[in-house]
Structure 1
Amino acid sequence: MLNEIKRSFAENKIAIIISVAILGISLILGYCLEGYLYSYLNPVVEELTKKVQSGALKITFQDIFLNNLRVICVMFVFGIIFCFSAVMLAFNGFFVGYYVGSTHDLFTVLMYIIPHGIFELPSCALACAASFVLFNFIYKFIKALLKDTNDNVSDLIRSSYDKTDDKLKQAVILFIVSVILMIIAGVIEAYFTVPIAQFIFSILG
């Protein structure tokens, strides 16, 4: 299994690099363009803040994990539409970058983001990469389907799948790793992020 995971990463490194680049660029742009994005994204931030304060949105492991899991699942499933997952990843990056820039206290907000963010952000990027691999599988499957001359439909589908199933397996493996990272991020965000940040603040005075 470990070899399959290594192979999935090695053979799809371009998809992973592209996803990381999309996330990194969108984070930077969201931060740098905070002033221009205010009218678009600030209502979202205010709405989230109101929900947390009113108790409508609880910061528990279950709530955090289920929300983040929904995001990466949608991102993965929409791999059938090549660009959609990239748009979702870019928006998430823009939003995080904007949020960091809007606080005007870079150190404080980073202390509340970094502990879980080092797992959550790679998880999002990996889910996007998995969606690219899924799209690659679908493309190769259809291509093999059209090239095959077998008249039997079931044999035709089976033959095309056998030629391309590696990509589907790799897409699933990358997505599973993404889910594992998101579970770790959810545990840290729910139970450790605030104590870690407060401990660092107490040390620095």
Structure 2
Amino acid sequence: MNNETENNSQETTLNEKHPIIVLSNQHITEKIDKKEDTINYSIKKDSHILFYLATTVLTILLYSYCAFASNVALIEIIDLELPLAILFTLILTECSIQGYSKISYVIYVVLSCILYMINPTYAFFFVIALISNLITKSIEKIYFNKNDFRFSDDFSSKTIFKKHILRVKYHLFLSFVLFVIFLLLGYFYPTVFQSLVLPTIQGMSEGVQNGTVKLETVPLFINNFSVALNMIYGGFLLSTATTYSLIFNALVVGVTACTMDLGYFLSYTLPHGIFELTAIIIAGAAGFRVSESILTIFSGIKLNCDNKGEIFAKHVEIGYKMLFDVLIMLVIIIVLLIIAAYIEANLTIPLGQTLMNNVI
């Protein structure tokens, strides 16, 4: 009996000196969850900083580009106008990060319209901020598109065309946003951009009058197709040439519409313009897809990795699949431009005259 008591007391003493810690599965799970939350918070914080940085840099570039187009020296905008544009950009970025992007976009559009009637310069700040946020948000959507080849190959329940649309919908949205917004900027702010696009507009007008620009189906198609092809090739330069061409063509359309009677312009532009401008927007999206393909391939280069060959091969495969999407868009572009060229050469003038006569 005494021996048992002594043994128990020794065990108690040992346990007190060296307590046995038993971790439950729940405790381990909680620790893992906390660690994952910390990592996710860090990633989210870094992505927010990058989002702020991207929108700010875009605002500076866009505002500087507009100043250059209107022959305004950078020193004249750097003291007040550019800081205000950056401020409105940061406010909109914060609203977007907090989950209020849609309502904040609507507010910015409404404010832009109201301020345009009071002072167009103030409205321009809001428009630039809106463009910067929409571009950055679209690029983010492109990169994290769950339907793309990087994340999923399971499209068994969808048609081929629907699969294609799901993969390139954000590229199309980005191209559409750039074209439409700069078309509107060209229309409502013609003095800002006329020195940039007026020589092109005058050259086109003189070409038609002199006969150097033939209003025939084949020449019109070749001219428009070369523009679209250059936009796609621009994707190999990380879409810099694509973006410039998209913006420039939008400004040409916007400034041209501003210098003419709107009814006359629409009557002689809409019949073929619907197909032609749609093709240009798709060409912009195709250029963005080319850039994404190249970046995907280069991102597969891993120097400090055991299976770097396998990883690179996988990225090359995904990059080639992305280029297949470009081929699909190219076919659509060709069809649209053939239709546009035929209408412009044979139907636009009669349709325009009919529409103008009905209006009068």
- How far has the Cα of 1:145 moved from its partner? 4.1
| 8 A Cα contact 2:231 2:287, kept in partner | yes
Equivalents in 1 of 2:319, 2:200: separation in Å? 41
Alignment of 1:7-86 (within 5 A): 7-82=163-238, 83-86=240-243
Equivalents in 2 of 1:62, 1:29: separation in Å? 32
Who wins on radius of gyration, i.e. which is larger?
2
Aligned pair partner of 2:333 in 178, 181, 184: 178
Partner of 1:149: 308
- How far has the Cα of 1:176 moved from its partner? 1.8
| 8 A Cα contact 1:9 1:174, kept in partner | no
Cα 1:64/1:102, change in 2 over 3 Å: same
Moved more, 138-147 or 190-199: 138-147
- How far has the Cα of 1:36 moved from its partner? 3.4
Equivalents in 2 of 1:183, 1:56: separation in Å? 20
Cα 1:193/1:156, change in 2 over 3 Å: same
Equivalents in 2 of 1:188, 1:97: separation in Å? 21
Equivalents in 1 of 2:341, 2:286: separation in Å? 20
Q: How many residues align?
A: 199
Partner of 2:254: 97
Partner SS, residue 268 of structure 2: helix
Aligned pair partner of 1:164 in 316, 319, 326: 319
1:23-81 deviation line (CA, Å, top 9, x unaligned) = 00010001111233333333322222222111122111111110000000000011012
> Given residue 186 of structure 1, which amino acid in structure 2 is its aligned partner?
A
1:125-172 deviation line (CA, Å, top 9, x unaligned) = 11110111111111111222447533xxxx997654324322111122
Unaligned runs of 5+ in 1: none
Partner of 2:244: 87
More contact order relative to length (CA 8 Å, sep ≥ 6): 1
Partner of 2:343: 188
> Given residue 95 of structure 1, which amino acid in structure 2 is its aligned partner?
V
Equivalents in 2 of 1:45, 1:159: separation in Å? 47
> Given residue 87 of structure 1, which amino acid in structure 2 is its aligned partner?
Y
Equivalents in 2 of 1:176, 1:157: separation in Å? 29
Q: Percent identity?
A: 27
> Given residue 288 of structure 2, which amino acid in structure 1 is its aligned partner?
F
Partner SS, residue 57 of structure 1: coil
Cα 1:137/1:51, change in 2 over 3 Å: same
What's the TM-score once normalised by structure 2's chain length?
A: 0.52
- How far has the Cα of 1:17 moved from its partner? 0.4
Equivalents in 2 of 1:11, 1:99: separation in Å? 34
- How far has the Cα of 1:197 moved from its partner? 1.0
| 8 A Cα contact 2:279 2:337, kept in partner | yes
Partner SS, residue 215 of structure 2: coil
| 8 A Cα contact 1:8 1:174, kept in partner | no
Partner SS, residue 139 of structure 1: helix
Equivalents in 1 of 2:323, 2:192: separation in Å? 40
> Given residue 241 of structure 2, which amino acid in structure 1 is its aligned partner?
F
Cα 1:144/1:97, change in 2 over 3 Å: same
> Hey, which of these two has a bigger chunk of helix by percent?
1
Equivalents in 2 of 1:158, 1:186: separation in Å? 42
What's the TM-score once normalised by structure 1's chain length?
A: 0.88
| 8 A Cα contact 1:144 1:163, kept in partner | no
Unaligned runs of 5+ in 2: 1-157
